[in-house]
Each structure stands twice: as structure tokens, then as C-alpha cells.
Structure 1
Amino acid sequence: MQINKRLRRWHKVVLILLGILILVAAAFLLIIWHMLKGAADAMYEPLPNKMEGNLPEQQSFPFITPIVEKKNQAVTAPTDHRQPNLAEQPPFTLLLIGTDERPGDKGRSDSLALVLVQPRSGTLSLLSIPRDTRTEIVGHHTVDKINHAYAFGGVPMTVATVEQLMKVPVHYYVKTNMNGFASMIDLLGGIEVENSHPFIEDGISIPQGKVTLKGKEALVYVRMRKQDPNGDFGRMQRQRQVLQALFSKSVQFGSASRWMDLLEQLKDNFRTNLQFDDWQELMVHYRPQLQQVEQHVLQGEGRMINGIYFFIPKEAQLKKLAESLRNQLGG
């Protein structure tokens, strides 16, 4: 009898301990969830439903499946009408904008890349757009370098200009200050790339071959172009390398404490119209595509116009790329 009583007592103790552990784990997960949501809400900046001020309304793209309006909205602003319902796993576009903002200077877009995620084929297509691309700046009534759109009208004008150039809608954007980009790479423990041309820039030496880059080194790596025999095209190739390495490293990131530091960096240096629910859907349904990247670049030629260097895209390839993007989006 005494043995049975002791066993029952131990069973109760074990059950109580298990209950406490479950409560602690649940509380920890709840804290993490609130921190993730807080970071997502802090980064969230919606695109206007219509271009404000002197910017025109967004173009209508009838070949796109009608947008499904979301029920859940972030606390910072209403849902942007252009966003698809990621729970249904549609293809979508995302514009990556790297800026060179400094205190007191809005800066320009230092890098632009249009990403198309296609869950049916399991691919992510990344199109690098040269910063000197000569195009119409939508809402500014000028023809200029595409990276000036950010200086003239911020993210909305940049998005509208890329939409005009590529003739496809931009569903989402992610904007980062390039200095924040470097801090994020440091938190991830660096990234590995294959460098085809050794160079020294700003006192930092990048050798040829396979190298692991820390944040400042990665920043130099994606910005250098004067020493590259391929000029801006070589620079864009290095940017694509770094983006692909960053995608791969981020989806493998596992340390909880480092995730907290990473969230702080994201809150300070990143802005996007992706909401908290969107991030969850991306990680659940689109995670494999983040590691399968097809890279493309605009073809064209450099030309001096009124003493200013421009990149002039080839119309035939531009038209072909735009048509391919539309077809993948359901056009």
C-alpha cells in the first residue's frame, strides 16, 4: 500500500512538473510571437492605394487574378488593395530597394531588384535593374536614371516607375538602408560568395575565390564597380550573389537569442508592405522557393546623353522579359 501511495505521489509530482514546463514553453512562445508581430508592425509601411500628390493612379492590370481582401490588418495602417492572398499561394512580385540614405540626406536607390515568386514551378526569379537605367520617372514628368525616382518620390514613385518600365504590378516591396543590410549579415555570421575579381576598396581587400564576408566587407562587395571589368553588370552580379547567400542563410537561422537581435535590426533598417500574416504565409508556403533562385539582368548599352551616363535597355529583351513576367503572374 505504501509503495502504491508513493507511486501515486510521484505521478502527481511528474504531472505538475510537466504542466509547469508546458506553461513556461507556452509563455515563451507567446512572448516570441508578440515580438515577431511587433517587429512586423514596426516595419510595415503600406503603399498608397493611389499615388499621392502629383503622382498618377496606379495602372490597371486586367490579367491579374482579382485581389482577395484580407480580414486581418496590421495596427499601423489599412491593408493595401494591391496585395494578393498569400494563403492561396499565388505567384507574386516583390521589389527589393537598397538605399544609400544618410543623416539629413534621403539618398537614392543604390540597388533595385524585381523578384517574382512562382510556387507552382517552385522558382524565385530575380531581375536586377541597373541603377543608371534611363526611363520615365512616373509622377515626376521626366526621363532620368531610375534610381532618382527614390530621391524624387520615395518608395511609391520607385514602385510606380518600375511598374511602368516592366509593365507588371509590384505587389510588395522591401526597402533597406544598406548600412542595416551590413548589420544583418553580421548577425547571420557572415555569408559565403565566389569572387571572380580580387580588389581593394575603402581599405578592405576582397581576394579571388570563395570568401566569407562580414557586414562591411559585403557592403563593399556589392557597391564596388569602378574596378570591375564588367562595370555595373559585374556589380549587379555580385549583388545577386549576396542576395542569394542572404536568402539561404536567413532561412537556416536557428538561434533564438540571435533572432531577437535580428528583429531589432529589421525594425530599425527595413520597411515593407508585407504584414505579419504575410510573413507567416511566406515561411510556411514559400520557404523552398527562397533557396531556388533564377537570376536575370536587363541587357542594353551605356550611352552619354548631355554629358550624363545612362544605361539604355534593349527594347526587344525588355518586352520579352515583361511578357514572361506577365505570363507567370497569370496573364
Structure 2
Amino acid sequence: MSDPSPAIKPKRRLWLRILLVLLFFVLAVVGYYGYQLVQTMDQVYQPPTREKSAKRENKVDITEDPVSILLLGVDERKQKNDRGRSDTMMVITINPRQQTLKMMNIPRDTYTVIPGRSGYDKINHAYAFGGEELAITSVEEFLDIPIDYYAKVNMEGFTQIIDVLGGVEVQVPFDFEYLEQAFKKGPMHLDGEAAIRYTQMRKEDPQGDLGRNVRQQQVIKAILKKGTSPSSWSKWDDLLDEIGDNLTTDIAPKDIFRLQGIYRDLGNKKMETVAIKGENQRIDGIYYYVVPDEEKARIQQEIREHLEMSTNKAAASTKK
């Protein structure tokens, strides 16, 4: 029942916090680059198709109320007009009263019901079937929470952002090789492709997923540090072009500017990762990531509490 998942194509193996980097990179530079940043925000903004989530009684204010954001990492081939699949699905919840943020990666192979489709399927198929709208409703049903906003990035453009910065510096914890790329213990300069490979490797890491998460955080901090340093000011034209071409969100530009003032320093504190525990399981010849009902109830309770919502009955029963 615990067979390993089949290998994923290297270019489609995406790292946990990629979307969060882009979203908060925008927040980090928002105070510096004025006019062109406003143009970029207008370019990435996609007005919402609904006033609020069906799981909300009232509309929320992103800077005053606890809110949730679904971050989608998709592999779209624009030249083929291919919608692709959401290889990364992450939910972040922000509580302005607590000045805290929680982020939770939903494994792409998670076994769940997709609204409007018969039977169970992998949750990342929802985007291929119905775009952002179906991806949002599928996550809402899986977690029993409202999704208030979304942000989507086409992953083909992410390596270019790192390359525009001139690469990033990391501290490699031990020697390893991954996808024909050698990494030596100690300080190392990585270009876009190497940085993604550095964050992908898991099996050779003594800490497994935990070690991979640490390396992901290294790269994220390196991008934010370099992207907001004076040495990168001359590159912001190209950086904003890449963000404009590859990021879409229904968070209004005015709200992104307001968020920047509130969460400017959040990257270094009060940020927590929530893990979804489950196991790989073969069902009808296909591998899925199966999350037990008790675990699903636990994470639902934790996220709903952070959103300051009443806990559902299933979650409440786990306390007994």
C-alpha cells in the first residue's frame, strides 16, 4: 500500500514555494518601483468571476480579515494554447489580526472528488478540466474552507526570473548530484535551472522532505534578498516583464499595495508550514496520494481556526 510514486518528468517536478516567491517578490519591491510596477499589476490582474466564495456568508477585506489564497503552478505551453495541469497547488492563509501566515502544499496526486466529475481523481486534474474556477472549488471541497483569492504562475518563466537576477547564492549542506547537476558542500552560485534542481532533490537528503523544504527556503530567501537589493534596481524592467508575462491573480492591484505595508517583514517570522500526511496507494493501476479522513479533519480544523471560522463537525470530533 506504500509503493513509491512513479518518477515525474524533471521539467514538471515543481518546488513547494515557487508561487509564494513571485507573489511576495511583488510585495517586496512594490515600494520601490512605482509607475512600472503599477503597469505590471494591471497586466497580471484578472477580475474575479464571483463576488465571494459560496462558503462565505459575507465578503472579506484582504487587509482586515483572515483570508485564503490558492496558489497554482501550471505548465502551460502558450504556443500550443495548452491549459496544462496544475503541478503545484498551495493554499496560504493570512490572518492580519495575528500577523501570521500559514502555507500548505496539496500533493498533486491527492485522491479526492472533483465537483461535476464522476468518481474520484487526482486533485491537480481539476485545473485541466475546468481552469482556475474548478481548481478553486475542488480545493474548497477537499479542505472545507473558502478560497478567497488565487494566483497562478506559468512555471516555464520562473527560471528566467532567477537568470535575470544573475543567479542566486546558496549554502549547500552536503555533496550530491541530481539530474546530471553536481552540488558541492559550501557556498555555491546557481542559475535558474540549477536552482530548481537544487530544490527538487529529496531521496538523497538524510532529512527527506524536510531537508528539501530547507533548501527551498534557502532559494526563496536568496531571491527576495537579491531582488530587493540596490544592485538589482537596473534589472527590474526585465524582472517585471517576466512577472507580467507569467503571473495572473484576482487580487486587485490596490490590495497588493495595501498588503505590502502590512506584511513587509512577514517572510522572516510568523510564517508556518502545514503538512498533509498521507500515503501513496495504487488504485485501479494508478498511483494516488491518499489522505486518511482523520488527517483531513485535522488540517481542516487547523486552517479554519486560522481563518477564525467555526470548526466543522468532523474536525471537532478529532479533539475528543
Relative to the length of structure 1, the TM-score reads 0.72
Q: Secondary structure at the match of 1:46?
A: coil
Q: Is the counterpart of residue 324 in structure 1 residue 319 in structure 2?
A: no
> 1:261: how far off?
1.6
Decide which of 97, 115, 122 is 2:72's aligned counterpart.
97
Structure 1 residues 287 and 133: alpha-carbon distance in aligned structure 2, compared to 1, 3 A threshold: same
1:195-253 superposed Cα distances (whole Å, 9 cap, x missing partner): 56754344322345664432111222344567668887876675565446545655557
Q: Is the counterpart of residue 85 in structure 1 residue 80 in structure 2?
A: no
Q: Which residue identity does 1:92 align to in structure 2?
A: V
Asked if 1 retains the 8 angstrom alpha-carbon contact of 2:68 and 2:92, the reply is yes
Asked if 2 retains the 8 angstrom alpha-carbon contact of 1:248 and 1:290, the reply is no
Q: Which residue identity does 1:166 align to in structure 2?
A: L
Query: For residues 287 and 274 of structure 1, what CA distance do their matches in structure 2 show?
Result: 17
When Rg is computed on C-alpha atoms for both structures, the one with the higher figure is 1
Query: For residues 118 and 210 of structure 2, what CA distance do their matches in structure 1 show?
Result: 28
Asked if 2 retains the 8 angstrom alpha-carbon contact of 1:123 and 1:289, the reply is yes
> 1:299: how far off?
0.1
- Structure 1 gaps of 5+ residues are 1-30, 51-56, 68-83
- The higher-RCO structure (CA 8 Å, 6+ apart) is 2
1:77-132 superposed Cα distances (whole Å, 9 cap, x missing partner): xxxxxxx323x432221222111222423321121211112233332211111111
Decide which of 42, 55, 58 is 1:60's aligned counterpart.
55
Q: Which residue identity does 2:56 align to in structure 1?
A: F
Asked if 2 retains the 8 angstrom alpha-carbon contact of 1:117 and 1:289, the reply is no
1:144-190 superposed Cα distances (whole Å, 9 cap, x missing partner): 11111111112111111111111111122221111211122233443
Q: Is the counterpart of residue 108 in structure 1 residue 85 in structure 2?
A: yes
Decide which of 254, 273, 281 is 1:295's aligned counterpart.
273
Q: Is the counterpart of residue 158 in structure 1 residue 135 in structure 2?
A: yes
Query: For residues 186 and 100 of structure 2, what CA distance do their matches in structure 1 show?
Result: 27
Asked if 1 retains the 8 angstrom alpha-carbon contact of 2:150 and 2:249, the reply is yes
Asked if 2 retains the 8 angstrom alpha-carbon contact of 1:240 and 1:295, the reply is no
Structure 1 residues 320 and 265: alpha-carbon distance in aligned structure 2, compared to 1, 3 A threshold: same
Structure 1 residues 152 and 144: alpha-carbon distance in aligned structure 2, compared to 1, 3 A threshold: same
**Which residue does 2:46 correspond to in 1?**
45
1:241-284 superposed Cα distances (whole Å, 9 cap, x missing partner): 54465456555577432222211011111111122101211111
Query: For residues 302 and 256 of structure 1, what CA distance do their matches in structure 2 show?
Result: 45
- Structure 2 gaps of 5+ residues are 1-31, 310-320
Structure 1 residues 274 and 150: alpha-carbon distance in aligned structure 2, compared to 1, 3 A threshold: same
Query: For residues 185 and 116 of structure 2, what CA distance do their matches in structure 1 show?
Result: 43
> 1:306: how far off?
0.9
**Which residue does 2:16 correspond to in 1?**
none
Asked if 1 retains the 8 angstrom alpha-carbon contact of 2:165 and 2:232, the reply is no
Q: Is the counterpart of residue 178 in structure 1 residue 155 in structure 2?
A: yes
Q: Which residue identity does 1:60 align to in structure 2?
A: K
Relative to the length of structure 2, the TM-score reads 0.74
Asked if 2 retains the 8 angstrom alpha-carbon contact of 1:247 and 1:291, the reply is no
**Which residue does 2:28 correspond to in 1?**
none
Aligned counterparts, 1:18-37, within 5 A: 33-37=34-38
Q: Secondary structure at the match of 1:287?
A: coil
Q: Which residue identity does 2:122 align to in structure 1?
A: K
Query: For residues 123 and 214 of structure 2, what CA distance do their matches in structure 1 show?
Result: 18
Number of aligned positions between the proteins: 276
1:4-28 superposed Cα distances (whole Å, 9 cap, x missing partner): xxxxxxxxxxxxxxxxxxxxxxxxx
1:20-67 superposed Cα distances (whole Å, 9 cap, x missing partner): xxxxxxxxxxx95332221111111234218xxxxxx953234xxx32
Query: For residues 321 and 209 of structure 1, what CA distance do their matches in structure 2 show?
Result: 37
Q: Secondary structure at the match of 2:69?
A: strand
Decide which of 129, 132, 136 is 2:106's aligned counterpart.
129
Query: For residues 109 and 138 of structure 2, what CA distance do their matches in structure 1 show?
Result: 13
Structure 1 residues 124 and 208: alpha-carbon distance in aligned structure 2, compared to 1, 3 A threshold: farther
| Worse overlay, 137-146 or 196-205 | 196-205
> 1:140: how far off?
2.9
> 1:317: how far off?
2.3
> 1:309: how far off?
0.6
Aligned counterparts, 1:165-314, within 5 A: 165-193=142-170, 198-208=175-185, 211-224=188-201, 239=216, 242-243=219-220, 246=223, 250=227, 255-292=232-269, 293-314=271-292
Asked if 2 retains the 8 angstrom alpha-carbon contact of 1:140 and 1:152, the reply is no
